[in-house]
Amino acid sequence: MTTRRGIQGFRQGIGALMAACVLLGPGLALSQSAAGGKIPRQANGKPDLSGIWQTTSAADFDLEAHIGRKDAPPGLGIVEGGSIPYTSAALAKKQKNFENRLTADPRLKCWTLGTPRGIYYPEPFEILQRPQDVTVVFEFGDTVRTIHTDGTLHPVDTDHEFWLGDSRGHWEGDTLVVDVRDFNDQTWLSRAGDWHDEALHIVERWKLIDANTIDYQATIEDPNVYSKPWNIEVFLYRHREKDFQLIENYCYTLDYDQYYPYPKS
Amino acid sequence: MNTTTHRHTHRHMIATISLPALAATLGSLIALAQTPPATTPTAAPRVGGGGIFLEKSFPAIESGPWSGKRTSDGQPDVEGDWSNTIGNHNNFTDPQGGIPGDPTARNRTLGPRDQRAPSRVSDPADGQIPYQPWARAKQQELAAGLWNAVKPEYIEPHDRCAPGGVPKIFTHTGWEIRQYPGKVLFLFDSSWRLIYLDNPKHLPENLKLWNGDSRGHWEGNTLVVDVSNDNAKARFARTADFASENVHVVERYIFSPDGKRYNYVATFTDPTVYTRPFTVTIPNKRWTLDDPRNGWHYQAREANNPGGPRIADHYERICVENNGGFGQVAITANQQN
């Protein structure tokens, strides 16, 4: 309760500051912005990630820096250090995937994008947050991912081979740190054919840097595919358009929904 | 329950319910180009087995004030795991009567109708959907086609991992309710519904969706949801009951004072298909870790929480048939046609 009162007091203080900014004009607003602004918080004081988010990056087209091509806009890449440290054998497979990307990308079948690809895929997702979990609902394929924040551990048996991995998170200060493991090998990390196998292990760090921006970082390791762990970082922006919402997109039905016009006489 | 069992549950659904239709379809389609394969199913489906039919009658629950626990934003707190108590999606109006025309049903006699759960159609009193004549004929054709799926549309879309749609999603496996300020989230095996409590404005009329567009509000112990924008591609059951894109549904989820049950009472209005509005009633119960394991109604398992409280946990809800090739198999077969 002390924390909660403290947070509420903090929020009231910021509210008073904002009111002062409005009264005193735009000059002070700049200094508030420079101070980082405030972030939304839940009743328990934890940062509130609720909302609809989307990247503006070209990460899904290619995680590494690339010039424009017919199937991708250019991008600076989101891999720390520039390139993914594939083993030589794994790099050959990535290159083969790249050559076949226009037909082999699991995205084209609307299969579950997986983790972390769903986060930087260029289609919105919604976060719904309770103290015990953070639910991530992806528009693409209407996939639902639960990040457990109730202190529970990964399942003891670890051969489930999930599409999204098993996600257990905890708060380190204002950063949600999520350990994700127990994957299958069916997902790609990008349209460029970046891949992993069942040994994939991801540690995500989600942090609100202002009310409308999440700094998303992830460390990706898979000793069968990469020579060392590697990091990505991408910003996610809040959708603030009036009445914006996810629109159902069970795109894996598109190959057969033509057979189901509603019956007519 | 571990995920192996979870996946077996999905496969169980294929093997026991979907396989005859799939086998028949594949057989029919492949037969055009190849030697006709055997179409006789090798395994008899366990129609309705495994503790799916929990009760033959159920109590009425009156709408009224809510005195139980509330969420932080003041909603009645109904979070947790739920499932219907009378049957599955085999048969809409005779929930414990099996699939009509099932050539692989086990040798059992159903007995008098009044010894099984009542029709989910609670109004009109005869328990039948008040179809217009053409629509009844179409429903009969589609239902018969389930057993001889010579047309792609005879395969139920839910078998291909399409969302179950309203109201079938409430006769399939159990679901979880999570609540948030201004929102109620339903998580089903192969789809979800987000009920918006804070914005009554439906999506543009031309957007037609498998699970429709849901806008709701609470009236005491009752969650009232207005559903529109239905693409009408989903069927109500294996009996192939259907609506059109014009259907309008008003759902009432009426929760009991102890929070252990709710009755789903929904009015379906669609002048293009029915002669009058009708009411669907589906009874439901809450499931917790204290309940006996039930792979159909309750797929939760106990979380790994050494030294902590028992917590129900769910593995990812991804329709394995779809991702793993069940739907793809059907498409491949169709493309051979």
Q: pLDDT of B180-228, one tens digit each?
A: 999 999 999 889 999 999 999 999 999 999 999 999 999 999 999 999 9
pLDDT on residue A31: 37
Contacts of B185 in chain A (CB under 8 A): 128, 135, 137
Residue B24 · residue B101 · CB < 8 Å: no
pLDDT on residue A225: 98
Radius of gyration for the alpha carbons in chain B, expressed in angstroms and rounded: 20
Contacts of B180 in chain A (CB under 8 A): 50, 128-130
Pairing label, strands A166-172, A144-148: parallel
Cis peptide before B167 (omega within 30 of 0): yes
Closest Cα in chain B to A138: B192
pLDDT on residue B38: 33
Contact A256 B135 (CB under 8 A): no
Residue B121 · residue B128 · CB < 8 Å: yes
Percent of residues, chain B, with pLDDT higher than 90: 68
Residue A191 · residue A104 · CB < 8 Å: no
Smallest Cβ–Cβ distance between B201 and the set A137, A243, A248 belongs to: A243
Tokens of A8: 């509420």
- B4 part of contact set with chain A, CB < 8 Å: yes
Smallest Cβ–Cβ distance between A152 and the set B153, B243, B304 belongs to: B304
**Residues 122-141 in A contacting B (C-alpha not used; CB under 8 Å):** 126, 128-130, 133, 135, 137
Q: pLDDT of B12-56, one tens digit each?
A: 333 333 333 333 333 333 333 333 333 333 333 333 445 888 999
What span, in angstroms and rounded, lies between the C-alpha atoms of B292 and B276? 41
Contact B185 A243 (CB under 8 A): no
Contact A150 B330 (CB under 8 A): no
DSSP alpha helix (H) spans, B99-172: 133-145
Name the residue with tokens 């179809």: B131
pLDDT on residue B107: 58
DSSP class per residue in A64-121: S-B--BTTB--B--SBTTSS--B-HHHHHHHHHHHHTHHHH-GGGGT----TTHHHHS
Task: Return the H-helix or E-strand segment holding B331.
Answer: helix B326-336
pLDDT on residue B202: 97
pLDDT band at B102 (very low <50, low <70, confident <90, very high): confident
pLDDT on residue A160: 84
Q: What is the mean pLDDT of chain B?
A: 83
Length of chain A, please? 265
What span, in angstroms and rounded, lies between the C-alpha atoms of A47 and A173? 9
Asked whether the predicted pLDDT for residue B257 surpasses 70, the reply is yes
pLDDT band at B321 (very low <50, low <70, confident <90, very high): low
What span, in angstroms and rounded, lies between the C-alpha atoms of B100 and B112? 16
Region B305-323: what's the mean pLDDT?
A: 85
pLDDT on residue A1: 30
pLDDT band at B282 (very low <50, low <70, confident <90, very high): very high
pLDDT on residue B265: 98
**Can you give the pLDDT of all 265 residues of chain A as single tens digits?**
333 333 333 344 444 444 443 344 443 333 334 445 699 999 999 999 999 999 999 999 999 999 999 999 999 999 999 999 999 999 999 999 999 999 999 999 999 999 999 999 999 999 999 999 999 999 999 999 999 999 999 999 988 899 999 999 999 999 999 999 999 999 999 999 999 999 999 999 999 999 999 999 999 999 999 999 999 999 999 999 999 999 999 999 998 999 998 877 5
